[in-house]
Amino acid sequence: MTRLRDLGARIESRQARIGVMGLGYVGLPLAVEFAKAGFSVTGFELDGEKARAIQESRSYIEDVPHAEVAAMRESGRLHATTDMGELAGCDVINVCVPTPLTKTKDPDFSFMASAVEEIRKRLRGGQLVILGSTTYPGTTHELFLPLLEASGLRVGEDFALAFAPERIDPANKQFKVRDVPKVVGGETPLCTELAAKVFAPVFDTVVPVSSSQAAEMVKLLENTFRAINIGLANEVALMCDRLGLDVWEVIEAAATKPYGYMKFLPGPGLGGHCIPIDPTYLSWKMKALNFPARFIELATEINTQMPTHVVRRIGDILNEDRIAVNGSRVRLLGAAYKPNVSDMRESPAIEVAEGLLRKGAQLDYHDPHVPELHVGAHVLKSVELSDEALTAADLVVIVTDHDAVDYQRVVDQAQRVFDTRNATRKVTRNREKVRKL
């Protein structure tokens, strides 16, 4: 207990060494923020190229400028390594590794389990371990606490353990890392207190909750809320398609109500690491308790069918002019899962591309952020968005609405446009060429 109290003092004086396991979209921004707050930070990364990039003062994450990495490297407060042995020298260890789903839609804890095992082998008194990777309620307490206590050390006495969910939103210019309140829940009150002290210099607001399970549930509630409401918006889009209505007009008009309504938008499918995955973690956990998560399962069913709906609509649009999908020239605009990022995780563009290739379409794509797209056995390269290429396509499909694209030019040059994101809402000429979701 004394060593944990000493850790609190070391954190407050910025003498504690911070470790961050996983230097991806979550870990690297967090590591840089800790370094900017005055801590000495070691980032742990299995990918040697990423670790080398940090050591060479280069960033590979769009939200983290090269200049910030360079400044922290020059200050001596940021270091990256592939050597897990250095975990022993860290006072606080943040785990920011992926938690994907398996092919059968079950949680894949292999990355997190490997990270915790590396920590267990080097765990010592006076350390604080903070898990940040999204998972089901109870993971920290039921799965990883016993692993760590197998070292012979006891939580709350020898070491501290907490869960603090990541809330990173790539490419969000309004809310930076420190602007978004940090939720923390520990295995004991002292664990929560120490985790809150660690994050206080990095986040403007820290929100302690009663347990690690509560903190885990907070993250799942946030993204389940979004997934279900996006599922409703997608179902309304399918309804409007049958009714011959413009779903975007309907949503924008509904959004003028100043109370009791929150605007969610439909699209070609869900992407990213959080919204398509987090609700499934909660649903999976509840199945084990014989509790059907019906809202989640219905929303998941609707959201996962949207890429198929897009492919079907592409066929209908081409058929209007007696053009078969087989042999047609289709160009996708956008491949990333959201605007202005290079992140391809769970991107609906992949499923749309797969569907079109199966139907025999001659497919290419343009994305200023994604130079290469892997679709099954096919590897596509992003092509130039020239007037000639736009005109040559039988159909241009807007899958991701990047700001860098001039959509008026796209509509002017293309023969036909299918807009799944309402990116052409400000287009003034040749609107008759556009079909919408």
- Give residue 119's identity as a one-letter amino acid code: I
- Separation CA 94–CA 128 (nearest Å): 9
Minimal CA–CA distance to 166: which of 273, 9, 55, 42?
A: 273
Q: What is the pLDDT of residues 329-368, one digit of tens each?
A: 999 999 999 999 999 999 999 999 999 999 999 999 999 9
What is the reported pLDDT for 107?
86
Task: Fold for 2-210, please state it.
Answer: Rossmann fold (3.40.50)
Minimal CA–CA distance to 39: which of 31, 29, 50, 49?
A: 31
80-90 as b/e, with b when 16 or more CB fall inside 10 Å? Answer: bbeebebbeeb
Q: What is the pTM of this model?
A: 0.91
Work out whether the CA dihedral 347, 349, 352, 356 comes out positive or negative: negative
Q: CATH 3.40.50.720: does it fit domain 231-436?
A: yes
> How many helices (H) and strands (E) in the chain?
15, 15
Domain boundaries in the chain? 2-210, 231-436
- Give residue 48's identity as a one-letter amino acid code: G
Q: If 0-12 CB within 10 Å is exposed, 13-18 middle and 19+ buried, where does residue 103 land?
A: exposed
Phi, then psi, of 404 in degrees rounded to 5: -70, -10
Mean pLDDT of 224-247: 97
What is the reported pLDDT for 1?
65
Alpha carbon distances (Å) from 268 to 8, 234, 240, 243, 393 = 48, 9, 15, 19, 20
Catalytic center residues: 274
Mean pLDDT of 194-215: 97
Please report which confidence band the pLDDT of residue 146 belongs to, taking 50, 70 and 90 as the band edges. Answer: very high
Q: What is the pLDDT of residues 48-100, one digit of tens each?
A: 999 999 999 999 998 899 999 999 999 999 999 999 999 999 999 999 999 88
Check if the beta carbon of residue 31 is closer than 8 Å to that of residue 40: no
- Separation CA 156–CA 294 (nearest Å): 38
Domain 2-210 and domain 231-436 have a common topology: yes
